[in-house]
Structure 1
Amino acid sequence: MVTSTSRIPSLDDKHSGTPARLLDEAKVLKERLYSNKTLPPSQPRRQETPVLPPDVDRATFNKAWSDLKRLLGDENVDLNDKPLIDGWYMEHPNTHDAFHILDQEDLVSCGTAYPGSTEDVQKIVKWANRYLIPVYPISMGRNLGYGGAAPRLRGSLLVDLGKRMNKVLNIDGHNASCLIEPGVSYFGLYEAVQKSGHPLWIDTPDLGGGSVMGNALDRGVGYTPYGDHFANHCGMEIVLPNGEVLRTGMGSLPGPNGTDNPCWQAFQHNYGPSMDGMFTQSNFGIVTKMGMWLMPATGHQSFMVTFQRDDDFEQIIEVIRPLALNRVIGNVPQIRNVIQELAVTGKPRSAFYDKKSPMPREVIRQHAKKMPFGDVSWFFYGTVYGDDETIAKSLKTIKDAFAKVPGMQFKLPQELPADHYIQDRVDVCSGKPVLRELDWLNWVPNAAHLFFSPIVPTKGRDARLVHELVTSLHKKWGFDSFPTWCVLGRELHYIANIVYDRADADAKRRAMGLMREMIAKAAAEGYGEYRTHLIFQDQVASTYGWNNQALNKFNECIKDAVDPNSIMAPGRNGIWGQRYKNRGFEMGVGQNEQGGFAQSKL
């Protein structure tokens, strides 16, 4: 059982473990999180276990389970009939959503299968069609803030690809690419690249424990020039809902003498329609292998720019746009609000403010004055790349551009304390995965979070409109606002982070209300989420309703064609298929707001 004193698994012990270089830091982070925890390690379950999927009676399930054990081996299947333990980031569950916004016992699986190969995945898919039991594949289940390892349809069989399919199959130092399985974390890939001796970088998001493949398939981002992860994938192997295996790109052309095609990780496309995008944020197949491009190592210089006034925001965006479009800024930079600088110190909110209401701007200002950066409003974290001459020229151009904003300050990492957040940005922006971002989870007791993630043009007016909408709604629903902007040239990923106490039923209710209203009001202005938590997927999918829901109709047409039994992750990203559609499983506004407990009665 995961407790405050349980040993943190290392990367040598477990595919999802912590690299040796970060074990001491992980212990400190864990102790800090558990010191602010009031929930017990687990709570008694109230419903009969395992929870069954819809339309499956217990006798049929028991027969199916015996058959699955025969196919995979007893040691490679696990009933979800044990206590639900939330754990923490480096010791996360694969039984439920560790950051449950509904009840902890909601949206749980019936059990877990652990395939060890593409052939095992084929067996599971054919088994699912035989017994009409839905399956829900995960790479590692660490997309915390978006649903973790919880299946969208309660009672589905979780297919945990990471436990036994976690190999870096190849690193091509000449072609700067790799071929990986689903259970390879950013920590794992980084260590493998370092051991290879090739002068290559990986691209990593803020935290390094997630699946490289899973993040790319959910179209996540990192912070080097290779920060658009799906744009830097190359070639997939996929098990389709009927159990057949497909390869995309050049992998669809056989190599000589039965080998893999030598161009599979060199060119993304094939002859004819390019199918790769169909397998991102969808339920049309299970990806078992993926190629990723790696970045040749290069010189780099990170920096930070601060801005004094809240109202500078619109001008900051206008200054950034030409720098990003012309690639003077070489990476995917971040704009962060000053309150986040308080949160990443790891101190709880109570150290700054002892009332439940949103922290007033003046209180934030008073605490900021005591920090190394002083009384400012906005932080810009960027990195430039190349040789010394290129870096110097780029930094001068950036400083000159930002000088248009009165009161701006430009800082290099060596000008700030060794424990300042910028030091971790240096690592992340040069492809070295870290854990520091966990510190803001200490903000409230039993902290969990939801992400609201709309896409906004890199224009000051649009950015201000969305920011003011999000900020006002956070205030209305009683939450501190933690806005981060990831700049990808022509557009901004706005990441609004709702931090709530998962032991507080009212906080959960308000967090759900806030999410629902932000989704609706942002969409009404033309700004839609690029990904979202499980329970909001139906609502977000419905906002993409141009031409009488043409996109969603097309998705469901494909779903019914390739998966007529709807066994593959029904409901994921709002794609249901005829077997489950309009039966009360959708969770849009006013639809089954209580989730799985309501589903279990259908």
Structure 2
Amino acid sequence: MTTAQAPLAFVSGHYWLGGGNPTTTESSNGYGFGEPKYLPPNVSQAVFDKFAKKVVSAIGADNFTIITPDIELESYEDDDFGRNCRTHDYYRSFDDEVELVGSAICHPRHVHDVQAVLAACNEHKVPVWPISTGRNLAYGGSAPRVPGSLVMVLSTHMNRIIHVDTTACVCVVEPGVTFMQMSEYLREHGLLDSIRVDSSGLGWGSMIGNALDRGGGASLYGDRWGKHSGMEVVLPNGEVVRMGMGAIQDPEGRKQAAAGVHPADQKLNECFALFPYGWGPMNDGLFSQGNSGIVTKMGFWLMPAPQGMTPFSVTFEKESDLAALVDAIQPLDLNGTLQSSVSLRNLTLEAAHYGPRSSYTKASHKELIPEEDFEKMAKKLNTGRWRYIGAVFGSDKVREALIEDIRKEMTKIPGSKWATLEENPDESNLVRVRATYLQGISSMGEFAWMKQWLPNCSVIMVAAISRLEGKAVSDQYSRAKELFAKAGIDYISHYVAYFRTMHNVCIIPYDRKDKDMRGRAQWLARTLLKEWKENGWSVFRTHVGLMDQVADTYDFNKGALWKMHEEIHDTIDPNGILAPGRGGVWPKSYDKDEWIMGKKYIG
């Protein structure tokens, strides 16, 4: 076995301590305590002070900061593609309904600190909202579902690449390890010729955080949750549990346990990241989009470096080509010919990559882009109403055979145009940008449009699921476009196929400082979800402010599944301190009817 070990002090450079956040304050009482903007529910200032003192005594004053009342949500400025807002949802997506702001921020240094903070939360009944890097772009950022929660930032210190096995192509990481950090590590250690990490267009995202939220990648290993193996979790009562093969003590770890070494510091079983199941009930799913524990280590299967890669794109002339295109994709995806994840974007999304909205139209933010401007847009960019971007991997012969089959089927649609990178050497070419992380090398280019499309550009994503069939996808598209038009917001759509379904990622752009447009975006997101429910659809991932409404769509047998989720959670977390409301799962200590958001859209 060949193993590369990261230095214990390795830090990626994407993080800052709470004390450096200009929207937080340390008061003069010696502990950095003060009155928070929002106290935790049913917690007095006196009790909060006792709680804060206990947390600081465990993790140090430098790792605890109060979110004070003087924070200005409306005028808050931050570079969302550099540092990260840890106090609230920078995009303010649902602040007009409830301001989702914590009481304080803490930065545990290791598992011992996580346990100490949980002990204080249990003692004083303070809810805690764990985050990895806290990016969660378009899905709520670092915002806690319950205002006044303690926001626990795991990435500041817990960011080690613990283990990389180049023979088995696996790794074990902590929550702060980003896709970019892993790519940098593989490059620095000369390992890119052997292994790659399924990467992202947002390389600063946490590998663990993204997998737990079931985010998707673009490569052969794009199902990140499906490619995890082994988890170490701290339960709400502070107990450390290892899943799968990790629950079997390594012989050396057994000796360490006998010598009194902390469970989190004991050697992992050598099959921790190799075989995800172990034996007996598999409980990993409790911690994915859930609130039953804090994941402190996680194993992942890495991608063997491909022999070669050929990226390609196909453009389609008409908006009405969508159904035929999906029907062409379905058999190719099912039989494995399409090796990378299906990435199909509409003209608006492609245009946003190359310039702001104002460079294509004179329409105001209250008006839709007119049809004649779309015609000019397509001509200017030499594209169609849809662009498919993909890649094939393997030897020259394998890639040639795959390309031949794909090209044959996709260019049957009249007006379609096939293109390769060689035909467009421009470095800003969208296909080139996506090709970077299709081969397992992190980048930041694909989502940079979010900084330029509108002034103060912000987005909410509503990612609906449908059958991977032309009619089903086209029907959903048509209904979504109608609702976007009613909201007066240009429809931006990115279709991604996973398993046997198509995910319609509806991207709702708005100016966060324009209250009217922000309100229209909120209405649109909630109305889309209501429409999806009526048609038997739902989403695979959602914004913190939409979680209650999404949970309501799972209504079979009077919501039996969510009742089960809550019964399990109440058993594991009897005090209801860990991320209450996450995933629409509410502990019995909360009156659910009082806490749910979007009430008029539910039921």
The DSSP-based 3-state class of the residue aligned with 2:291 is coil
Post-superposition Cα deviations, 1:50-100, rounded to whole Å, max 9, x if no partner, equal 410100000110111111111111111111126354412221111111111
Q: 2:46 aligns with which of 37, 49, 59?
A: 59
Q: 1:91 aligns with which of 83, 99, 103?
A: 83
Is 1:128–1:134's contact at 8 Å kept on the other side of the alignment?
yes
Q: 1:221 aligns with which of 216, 223, 233?
A: 216
Asked if 1:102 corresponds to 2:94, the answer is yes
The DSSP-based 3-state class of the residue aligned with 1:369 is helix
Residue 320 to residue 94, structure 1, CA distance change in 2 (3 Å): same
Asked if 1:202 corresponds to 2:201, the answer is no
Residue 43 to residue 262, structure 1, CA distance change in 2 (3 Å): closer
> Following the alignment from structure 2 to structure 1, what is the Cα–Cα distance between the partners of residues 176 and 271?
24
Alpha-carbon offset, residue 103 of structure 1: 3.5
Is 2:231–2:295's contact at 8 Å kept on the other side of the alignment?
yes
Alpha-carbon offset, residue 270 of structure 1: 1.5
Alpha-carbon offset, residue 43 of structure 1: 13
Alpha-carbon offset, residue 588 of structure 1: 3.1
Asked if 1:294 corresponds to 2:302, the answer is yes
> Following the alignment from structure 1 to structure 2, what is the Cα–Cα distance between the partners of residues 349 and 333?
29
Q: Give the match for residue 177 of structure 2.
A: 184
Q: Give the match for residue 370 of structure 1.
A: 380
The DSSP-based 3-state class of the residue aligned with 2:354 is coil
The DSSP-based 3-state class of the residue aligned with 1:261 is coil
Q: 1:493 aligns with which of 503, 514, 518?
A: 503
One-letter code of the match for 2:586? W
> Following the alignment from structure 2 to structure 1, what is the Cα–Cα distance between the partners of residues 133 and 113?
17
Is 2:12–2:181's contact at 8 Å kept on the other side of the alignment?
no
One-letter code of the match for 1:295? M
Q: Give the match for residue 517 of structure 2.
A: 507
Query: TM-score with structure 1 length normalisation?
Result: 0.89
Alpha-carbon offset, residue 350 of structure 1: 5.2
Q: 2:353 aligns with which of 337, 344, 352?
A: 344
> Following the alignment from structure 1 to structure 2, what is the Cα–Cα distance between the partners of residues 235 and 125?
23
> Following the alignment from structure 2 to structure 1, what is the Cα–Cα distance between the partners of residues 368 and 287?
40
One-letter code of the match for 2:284? D
Is 2:24–2:67's contact at 8 Å kept on the other side of the alignment?
no
Post-superposition Cα deviations, 1:140-196, rounded to whole Å, max 9, x if no partner, equal 110121000010000000000000101111111111010000011111011112223
Is 1:42–1:86's contact at 8 Å kept on the other side of the alignment?
no
Alpha-carbon offset, residue 378 of structure 1: 0.7
One-letter code of the match for 2:93? I
One-letter code of the match for 1:330? Q
Alpha-carbon offset, residue 16 of structure 1: 4.0
Instruction: Name which of structure 1's ranges 192-201 and 524-533 shifts more when overlaid on structure 2.
Output: 192-201
* Superposed counterparts of 1:541-556, under 5 Å: 541-556=551-566
Alpha-carbon offset, residue 489 of structure 1: 4.1
Instruction: Name which of structure 1's ranges 513-522 and 360-369 shifts more when overlaid on structure 2.
Output: 360-369
Asked if 1:69 corresponds to 2:76, the answer is no
One-letter code of the match for 1:349? S
Q: Give the match for residue 475 of structure 1.
A: 485
Q: Give the match for residue 272 of structure 1.
A: 280
Instruction: Name which of structure 1's ranges 178-187 and 77-86 shifts more when overlaid on structure 2.
Output: 77-86
Alpha-carbon offset, residue 522 of structure 1: 1.2
> Following the alignment from structure 1 to structure 2, what is the Cα–Cα distance between the partners of residues 581 and 305?
52
Alpha-carbon offset, residue 358 of structure 1: 1.1
The DSSP-based 3-state class of the residue aligned with 1:349 is helix
Q: Give the match for residue 20 of structure 1.
A: none
Alpha-carbon offset, residue 529 of structure 1: 0.8
What count of residue pairs does the alignment treat as equivalent? 555
> Following the alignment from structure 1 to structure 2, what is the Cα–Cα distance between the partners of residues 591 and 326?
40
Q: Give the match for residue 281 of structure 1.
A: 289
Alpha-carbon offset, residue 360 of structure 1: 1.9
Alpha-carbon offset, residue 355 of structure 1: 2.6
Residue 469 to residue 289, structure 1, CA distance change in 2 (3 Å): same
> Following the alignment from structure 1 to structure 2, what is the Cα–Cα distance between the partners of residues 560 and 333?
39
> Following the alignment from structure 1 to structure 2, what is the Cα–Cα distance between the partners of residues 405 and 251?
51
Alpha-carbon offset, residue 417 of structure 1: 3.9
> Following the alignment from structure 1 to structure 2, what is the Cα–Cα distance between the partners of residues 152 and 75?
25
Q: Give the match for residue 133 of structure 2.
A: 140
One-letter code of the match for 2:252? N
Asked if 1:392 corresponds to 2:400, the answer is yes
For structure 1, the residue ranges without an aligned partner over 5 or more in a row are: 1-10, 18-40, 593-602
Q: Give the match for residue 21 of structure 1.
A: none
Post-superposition Cα deviations, 1:462-520, rounded to whole Å, max 9, x if no partner, equal 10111111111000011000110012241112111000001011111111111111001
One-letter code of the match for 1:60? V
Post-superposition Cα deviations, 1:20-43, rounded to whole Å, max 9, x if no partner, equal xxxxxxxxxxxxxxxxxxxxx989
Alpha-carbon offset, residue 526 of structure 1: 1.3
Residue 489 to residue 575, structure 1, CA distance change in 2 (3 Å): closer
The DSSP-based 3-state class of the residue aligned with 2:565 is helix
For structure 2, the residue ranges without an aligned partner over 5 or more in a row are: 1-9, 17-21, 26-33, 254-266
Q: 1:126 aligns with which of 105, 119, 133?
A: 119
One-letter code of the match for 1:146? Y
One-letter code of the match for 1:203? D
Q: Give the match for residue 37 of structure 1.
A: none
Alpha-carbon offset, residue 260 of structure 1: 1.5
Is 1:15–1:184's contact at 8 Å kept on the other side of the alignment?
no
Q: Give the match for residue 14 of structure 1.
A: 13
One-letter code of the match for 1:327? G
Q: Give the match for residue 449 of structure 1.
A: 459
Asked if 1:234 corresponds to 2:229, the answer is yes
The DSSP-based 3-state class of the residue aligned with 1:14 is coil
Is 2:360–2:377's contact at 8 Å kept on the other side of the alignment?
no
> Following the alignment from structure 1 to structure 2, what is the Cα–Cα distance between the partners of residues 275 and 367?
50
The DSSP-based 3-state class of the residue aligned with 1:331 is coil
Asked if 1:380 corresponds to 2:388, the answer is yes
> Following the alignment from structure 1 to structure 2, what is the Cα–Cα distance between the partners of residues 435 and 55?
42
Residue 269 to residue 42, structure 1, CA distance change in 2 (3 Å): closer
> Following the alignment from structure 1 to structure 2, what is the Cα–Cα distance between the partners of residues 13 and 236?
22
Q: Give the match for residue 168 of structure 1.
A: 161
> Following the alignment from structure 1 to structure 2, what is the Cα–Cα distance between the partners of residues 42 and 108?
12
The DSSP-based 3-state class of the residue aligned with 2:338 is coil
Alpha-carbon offset, residue 351 of structure 1: 4.5
Is 1:146–1:533's contact at 8 Å kept on the other side of the alignment?
yes
> Following the alignment from structure 1 to structure 2, what is the Cα–Cα distance between the partners of residues 16 and 456?
37
The DSSP-based 3-state class of the residue aligned with 1:344 is helix
> Following the alignment from structure 1 to structure 2, what is the Cα–Cα distance between the partners of residues 333 and 441?
25
Is 2:343–2:390's contact at 8 Å kept on the other side of the alignment?
yes
One-letter code of the match for 2:41? P
Alpha-carbon offset, residue 583 of structure 1: 5.3
Residue 121 to residue 473, structure 1, CA distance change in 2 (3 Å): same
